[in-house]
Structure 1
Amino acid sequence: MEVKEWTYEEFPEFAEEVEGAERIPTTGDEIGVFYQHDVEYAEIDGEKLHLQILRPLTRNRPNMICPCVVFVQGSAWFKQDVYIQLPRVAKLAERGYVVAVVEYRHSGIAPFPAQIMDTRNAVRFMRVHAEEYGIDPEKIVVAGDSSGGHTAMFAGMIHDDVENNLFPGISAEVKGILNFYGSCSVMKEDSNPTQLLHCQPDSPEGMVMGHVDLRESEELRRRLSVECNIEKDSVIPPTIIFHGTKDRVVNCEGSVILYRRMKECGKDVKLYLIEGADHSGNEFWTEQVLDIMEDFIQKAVR
C-alpha cells in the first residue's frame, strides 16, 4: 500500500480474513461526543466566563448542524462546578444536540440578575458562533437545574436586557425552557426544607440579592421569585418542569406553584413529578425522561 495523504474515502479497507477474528459492522452514523472545554464567552469586570461545549458527531457527519441546549449548572448561586454534570448532559449530546454548560458570575461577586444576563449572553455567543460549533442559530433552548433552573426561567422570560448585551444586534431569545427542580420561589418559609438560614443575609437567596435579609423585604422576595414575575401578557417560550417528590433542598411545591401560575396565565407548560427523587439524581436522566426532553425540544424548535 502506498504511503501518502489518504482521504477516508480513498483508503482501502482491511479485508483479509483472519482466523478467529469477528467483524463488527458499522453504519458510520454512530453518534459520539466531542468535548470543547473552558471556551471563554465573556469577560465582565475582569471576570472571565466560560462554556463547556459538548458536540455530537458521527463518521458520516463530522460537521453536524444541531439544535443547541444552553444548560445552566446549579450552585445555589455560589461558584459553580461546571464539570459535575457533564456525563449526564452528554446523554443529550449523544441524541444529537450541542450542549453548552454556562458559567455565570456567582453571588460572591455579582448579585441578581447578573446570572441571568450572563446566561443570555451565553446564548448570544452560541448564536454568533453557530457555524463554528455546529448549531442551528434558530434552534436554541435554555435549561438548568436548581439555581440554574431559576436562572434558565428568567433567561427565557426577560426581553429588555439591551444594556447588558455584550453582542449588539444579536438576539438572546430561545425556543423553550427546561427547568430541572429550579429554586424558583422564596415566598414560603419551607421553600428550602433543610436550610436553617432561609432568607437570611448568609442564605443562598440572601447572598444572591446582595447579602440582604429578605425577611425584611417582600418586594425583594417577589423580585427573586419567578412566579411573582409572570403575568398574562408575559412572553414565555414553551416550558417543561421536572421535580423530585422527595426533594429536601428545593421544595417540590415550589415547582407546583410555578406550574399553576403559568397555567393560570395561559402559558405553555408541562410538569413532571419524578417519584421518590431527591434534589438531582440519576432519576432525571433515564431513557424515559430523555425521551420526554427530546420530544419537547423537537416540538419547541420546529
Structure 2
Amino acid sequence: MKSIKIIATLLILFCAVINIGAQNITSNSKVLYKEINGDSLYLHIFKPQLSKKPTAAIVFFFGGGWASGTPEQFYQQSEYFASRGILAISAEYRIKNTHNTSPFDCVEDAKSAIRWIREHAKELNVNPNKIVASGGSAGGHIAITTALIEGLENVSENSSISSVPNAVVAYNPVLDTTEKGYGHKKVVGRETEISPTHQVKKDLPPMLIFHGTKDKTVPFENAERFTSLMKEAGNECELVAVDNVGHGFFNGDFFRKGAGNKYFNLTTYKTDVFLEKLCYLKGKPTLAENIKHISCVGDSNNEAKYPSFLQEKLGNEYQVKNFGKGGATLIDGTNHPYFKKEQYKNSLKFTPDIVLIMFGTNDANVKWCLDENRKTEFIGTPQEEFKSQYVKLIKSYKHKNENAEVYVLTPLPIYEHAKSRDPEIKQRIKHLNEWVIPIIKVISEEENVQLLDVNKLMKKAYNCTVDGVHLNNKGYEILAKKIAQEIK
C-alpha cells in the first residue's frame, strides 16, 4: 500500500511539472538529417519511454518569418509529447538571417525532414504512417505545405519515399502569402505558389489549427478562410479560435519566460486529444486544459514562501507566480516603490486571471509614512497616496485582463517581538490598524473587488512569526491554505 501511495505521489508531481513547465529542457540527442550547400541541419530528438511497438512521431518547425528562430521554441511541447509515449522532434531548417535562404528553401527542408523520419522509421521505432507535421507561424506554414504543396523536393533524396505527413497541427500559421496575409514581400512574383489558401485540394491529411482572434501578424480571417476551403474540398480541418490573444500566444514559460502556461496548456491539451482520436496516442492528457494564472503581488511576506505553498494547495489547474518584493510600498519615495520594480512589470506580463494584492506593512512604517522629506509627486497625505496608488494598481490589472479577479488582502498581523528589527514597531502596528486596513476595506467596496482579511484570519499566528512581521514556513503554509479555501 505504501509503494502505491509513493507512485501516486510521484505521478501527481510529474503532472505538476509538466503543467508548470520545466525551465531546463534539453533534447535527448541531435541527429543530422540534411547537408546542403555546406550547411548541416539537425533534428532535436525527444525520445519516449521504451516501447516494443513503433510509436507515432511529431515534428515541430519553429517560427520566425522564415528569417530567424530556434528549435527551442518547441522544446516544451516536445518534452510533453515524448512523455505521452511518442517520438517528438524539434527540427532545424534554413533561415534567411543565417543561411540567406527564401521561404521556398524552408519548405524544401521541412519536406526533407518528413522524408528522413519516414525513411529511418525502423531505427527510430516509428510507424511511418503516423507522422505529424507541426509548427508555429512560419513553422506552421511549412508544416502545412508539406501536406499540400507538390514539388520543392530535394533532388538528391529518395523521391520514392513520401514527404507528406499523415496529420498536421499548426499554431497561428501563415496561410496566405499574398497581400491579404503575411509575407508577400518575401515571395514577390510567386505569391500563391506556397500559399496554403491558394493550394487547397482534396485528399489532404487531417489538420488542427489554432489561431488568436486578435492576431495582428497573420489575420484571423486567413485561418477562417483556409478552414472553409479545406472543408469544401472534403478534408478534415478543425479551427480552434482563441479569444483575445495575438500572435505567438501558444508558447509557454520555457520559451517565452514570464508568459505563463495558460495557452501552452490549452493548445497542447487539444493537440493531445486530436492525436488520441487519430490513434496516435493512448489515454487522457496528463496536463490540465484550462489553468488560471495567479499573480501574487506584495512585499516580503509575499516574496517568501506563501505563493509556493499556494501552488501546492491549488493543484495543477492553477499556475501561481510570486511577484513579491521585500520592502515594497505603494507610496513613492521609499527604498522599493512597487510601481518602479521589475516584479510589477512581470506581474502584468503574466496576464493573471486572479490577482492577490497584499500591501501596507511597509507603507505603515514610521520611517516612510511620517517622513516629511520623502520624495513623491503626489500632493496629499500618505494615507491619500496609499489609497490612490492602490486603486491605480487594481486598475492596471483590470486593464490587462478585464476579466481578472482581483483580491485585496489586508496585511498580516504585526507583533511586538524580541527579534523585531523595527524600533518603532508599536507605531507601525497602530498605523496598520488605524488607517491601512480601513483604507483597504474601503477600496474593496469602492472598486468592487474581493476582500481577504488575512489580518483577521491569521490573528493567532504569533507562534508562527520569526520577528513579529514575517512568518515561518508553517505560518506561510497556513496562510496559503486559508487563501486557497477562499479563492477555489
- TM-score w.r.t. length of structure 2: 0.47
Does the CA-based 8 Å contact 1:149-1:183 persist in structure 2? yes
Alignment of 1:147 onto 2:129: no
Other structure's SS at 1:35 match: coil
Unpaired runs of 5+ residues, structure 1, are 1-16, 193-203
The equivalent residue for 1:42 is: 34
Distance 1:225 1:171 in 2: 21
Aligned partner of 1:25 in structure 2 is 7
Task: Give per-residue Cα distances to partners, 1:73-114, cap 9 Å, x unaligned.
Answer: 111101321113312332222222211112112135222322
Q: Distance in 2 between matches of 1:152 and 1:275?
A: 24
**Partner Cα separation in structure 1 for residue 48 and residue 192 of structure 2:** 40
Give identity over the alignment, percent. Answer: 24
- TM-score after normalising by structure 1: 0.73
Distance in 1 (CA, whole Å) between partners of 2:246 and 2:78 is 18
Identify unmatched segments of 5+ residues in structure 2.
Answer: 19-24, 250-260, 281-488
Give the match's secondary structure for 1:164: coil
Partners of 1:39 and 1:81 lie apart in 2 by 16
Bigger proportion of residues as helix: 2
Q: What residue number does 1:262 align with?
A: 230
Partner of 2:264: 285
> Counterparts of 2:136 and 2:195 in 1: how far apart (Å)?
15
Deviations 1:161-200 (A, max 9, x none): 55536234322222111111001113345x35xxxxxxxx
1:52-131 alignment runs, 5 A limit: 52-57=44-49, 61=50, 65-108=54-97, 109-131=100-122
Q: More relative contact order in 1 or in 2 (CA 8 Å, sep 6+)?
A: 1
- The amino acid that maps onto 1:181 is N
Task: Give 1 or 2 for the bigger CA radius of gyration.
Answer: 2
Structure 1 counterpart of 2:197: 227
Does the Cα contact within 8 Å between 1:175 and 1:300 map onto a contact in 2? no
Deviation at 1:284, TM superposition (A): 3.8
Distance 1:285 1:167 in 2: 36
Q: Is the 8 A contact 2:149 2:194 kept in 1?
A: no
**Partner amino acid for 1:51?**
L
Matched, 1:206 2:185: yes
Q: Structure 1: how far apart are the matches of 2:244 and 2:86? A: 28
Report the CA distance shift for 1:26/1:301 in structure 2 as closer, same or farther (over 3 A).
closer
1:183 equivalent among 170, 174, 180:
174
Instruction: Provide the aligned C-alpha RMSD in A.
Output: 3.2
Which residue is 1:248 aligned to?
Answer: 216
Aligned residue pairs total 256
